[in-house]
Chain A
Amino acid sequence: MSMKKALGAIAVTGALVFAGAAVADEKIKIGVSYPTPTHAWAAGMNWHAEQAEKRLEKIYPDVDLILVNSPDPGAQASALEDLVSVHQIDALVVLPFESEPLTDPVLNVKKSGAWITVVDRGLSQPGIEDLYVAGNNPELGRVSAQYMKGRLKDGDNIVILRGIPTVIDNERFDAFMAEIEGSGINVLDHKHANWNRDDGFEVMQDFLSRFPDIDAVWAQDDDIAIGVVAALKQAGRDGDGMFVVGGAGMKETIKAIMDGDELVPVDVLYPPAMIATAMDATVNAFKSNGPVAGRYILGATLITRENAESYYFPESPF
């Protein structure tokens, strides 16, 4: 590793005169592998990865980031093999499609001697990755519940729209329920709306028909929240202090918060930009004199009108 660092230092100071092939050999090659974006959050991640690539390669001319996206777990496994055999990467930043099928392929990359950074979705075997970067799902639930407790009083009613039945959804939901317990706020019911606008709309319509008195909605996700807001407006129940708490940090939602929307006054961050955090940290593993290995769990920041601007990326697709 120190050999590589030394070579990197040479490259920064004056290696640019070297012949192309020689320069290419001295570069620190970092492969970045993630699923092909098929939904807005992943498209945001793709955008942030590209931004980070441009930025980091500008700061460090000796760093070469190779972005690869794959449409399914099998393709991602092949992509990882190529990164090792074709590009001979020094480090890998990977957001695994699924934990189970990608554990072995990542382990093989590890055996080639590369630094491993795993993002968001953990591998099914501990100890493979040097660095783990992820959002904080339980914290997202807890922060949302704390906000609810701050706004509502004893005896108020809320409904919950959950995501796709997965570990992520359970972590968020369980933490929310644990935090809300004992506050006197009634959770009328919770249904899966699959992180999807249409399902959010339909589930909320049914909640509105079923429960005449709802004071707030935890939609858990910004896409669901958009459907919820449409259903509330259709039923004319968007007034009287009703509010919806989503999550993730969609740019439209953040814009609305900046503009002082009363129906969606806050958002809880689960940012697609975490891939950029992971890329930064991985480059630091080669460049910084501080240690980098470990776990980097991002906070689930409550985005309010006051701090919304720093989370607003109008160019991003998400």
Chain B
Amino acid sequence: MTTASEDTAAKTAKKFSVDFKTLGPAIALLLLCIIGFMLNPAFVSEGNLTNLLTRSAFIGIIAVGATFVITAGGIDLSVGSMAAAISGVMIIVMNNAIETMGSGVPTVLLGCGIAILLGIGAGWINGALTTKGKIEAFIVTLGTMGIYRSLVTYFADGGTLSLNFDIRGTYRPVYYDSFLGLPFPVWVFIGVAICGWLLLNRTAFGRYCTAIGSNEAVAKYSAINVDRVKTLTYIIQGLCVSFATIIYVPRLGSASASTGVLWELEAIAAVIIGGTVLKGGYGRIGGTILGALILTTIGNILNFTDVISNYLNGTMQGLIIIVAVLLQRSDWKVSKSGKS
């Protein structure tokens, strides 16, 4: 209930509060960049910034999907394993298609098509088990997390699946080439972010997600098809995982049991840092993107300095995540008290 009232408060005071809420993660990111620059001016070199953006694309794209799931009151822990399993199947399919289809663009498109179908399918399974099966999302996705992870281990025979070298030549540009100075993964990231923003903020579907996350029972009585909307959020999540996988595979052309480990937690962290409420009812795509950038920047900065012991990397990441959320939550209070 408190969330709902805060939410309406936030809506009525839109002009002030939106600014405040956007500022939290944005300030955190700006501070990080300044620290990075002070530690080493090479931090702001074009090469490093491009690396940063490209690297953020995986978690960022997945986190856009996670924003929908979390806004609608769900959670998806399976995304990292799902990414690994989809990468694995993609590689197997493409390697096997060489004989019949050659190593050109059609094979790569086939791989991408398979990835998208698998993502949608895997998302639908999570959604259907949550809604029709009436199992908590945490348990469903904890289960599928284990299943997908062990599947990729099985496909790879415990080792690493590697993409055939001929296809790698065809597929490689998808990660490494640029358009208008920005690498392709960044364009995919931008595209997914814009679509996500429009879907969440400008469509009935987006409003349904928010309504279900605020109060599922009320949403149901308001004639919202709750099961369908919730299942769709998981399908969107699955689709986002597919997109992330499609740009991930050409990077190193391999998948193994260590692919995508902890991506689910990074995606959830990005969503929460960005201002989306973990228990649902309020979501921000813009914040999620800043959250993903913050997470990647932390890792990048830690690689740029030897001041902090390597063993304390996790501590720094944890601290920065907590501080970023703290900044943004205290802003919530400011906006609320400012209104009342």
List the interface of chain A (C-beta within 8 A of B): 36-40, 42-44, 46, 162, 165, 189-192, 196-198, 201-203, 205-210, 223, 226-227, 230, 234-235, 252, 317-318
CB-CB under 8 A from A190, the residues of chain B are: 310
Whether B42 contacts A198 by the Cβ 8 Å rule is no
User: B252, B300, B311: which contacts A230 (Cβ < 8 A)?
Assistant: B252
Stretch from B14-22, B102-110, B255-263 at the A interface: B255-263
Whether A44 contacts B47 by the Cβ 8 Å rule is no
Interface size on B, residues (CB 8 A): 32
User: A36, A37, A208, A234: which contacts B176 (Cβ < 8 A)?
Assistant: A234
Nearest Cβ in chain B — how far from A259, in angstroms? 12
CB-CB under 8 A from B299, the residues of chain A are: 202
Q: Which residues 278-323 of B sit at the A interface, judged by CB distance below 8 A? A: 299-300, 302-304, 306, 310-311, 313
How many angstroms between the C-alpha atoms of A230 and B250 in the bound complex? Answer: 11
How many angstroms between the C-alpha atoms of A197 and B248 in the bound complex? Answer: 12
List the interface of chain B (C-beta within 8 A of A): 40, 42-43, 45, 47-48, 51, 55, 153, 156-160, 162, 176, 251-252, 254, 256-259, 299-300, 302-304, 306, 310-311, 313
How many angstroms between the C-alpha atoms of A40 and B304 in the bound complex? Answer: 30
Q: Lowest 7 A-B CB distances belong to which pairs?
A: A43-B158, A37-B158, A317-B159, A206-B303, A209-B48, A43-B159, A40-B159
Whether A317 contacts B251 by the Cβ 8 Å rule is no
CB-CB under 8 A from A165, the residues of chain B are: 310-311
CB-CB under 8 A from B42, the residues of chain A are: 209-210
User: B55, B254, B256, B306: which contacts A202 (Cβ < 8 A)?
Assistant: B55
Overall SS of chain A's interface: helix
Given contacts A38-B257, A39-B258, A202-B299, contact A317 B158 (CB under 8 A): yes
Whether A192 contacts B313 by the Cβ 8 Å rule is yes
Given contacts A165-B311, A191-B310, contact A40 B47 (CB under 8 A): no
Residue among B156, B157, B159, B256 with most chain A CB within 10 A: B159
Nearest Cβ in chain B — how far from A162, in angstroms? 7
How many angstroms between the C-alpha atoms of A290 and B159 in the bound complex? Answer: 37
Given contacts A201-B251, A235-B47, contact A206 B310 (CB under 8 A): no
How many angstroms between the C-alpha atoms of A223 and B43 in the bound complex? Answer: 26
Whether A205 contacts B310 by the Cβ 8 Å rule is no
How many angstroms between the C-alpha atoms of A246 and B87 in the bound complex? Answer: 25
CB-CB under 8 A from B55, the residues of chain A are: 202, 205
Known: A192-B310, A317-B157. 12 other contacts (CB 8 A): A38-B158, A38-B257, A40-B160, A191-B302, A198-B252, A198-B258, A202-B51, A206-B48, A206-B51, A206-B300, A209-B42, A226-B252
